[in-house]
Structure 1
Amino acid sequence: MNEIVERVAAQAGISPEQAQKAVEAIAGFVKEKFPMLEGAVENMFKSGGGNDTGGTGLGNLGGFGGFGQK
């Protein structure tokens, strides 16, 4: 599971599955409100690697806007 999903789950006190849906909703919002970033968001999802739940490729979301960075 990627770091951002783990953090959302831990900090919000929700399941990893719920956190995954929340992260996907945020990504969808970013793509909708900032269409010029759609390609970048899609590329981040595709380059995530195999440690994701749900196969969405969110593993590289940590590089987006400081999400997942320590």
Structure 2
Amino acid sequence: MDVYPYLSDRDAVAQAAELIRRFGEDAGGEAAARADASRDRGNVIHFCRWRQIERLVVLLSVPKALGTVH
């Protein structure tokens, strides 16, 4: 069974793409750092959002199509 990140809105995709553009291979680490900072501030909602964006960055870095291709 494949596990894909939950995306609550398309802004998460835009944020993932922006991280990839700005940080390249370090984009996943940047998303993780932002999640950790949100957790440290007690902001559970942003913590979860940045973790999902981190997962999306990893998914976008895979050089092949995943899941069903139509």
Higher RCO (CA-CA < 8 Å; seq separation 6+): 2
TM-score under structure 2 length normalisation: 0.43
Higher-Rg member (1/2): 2
TM-score under structure 1 length normalisation: 0.43
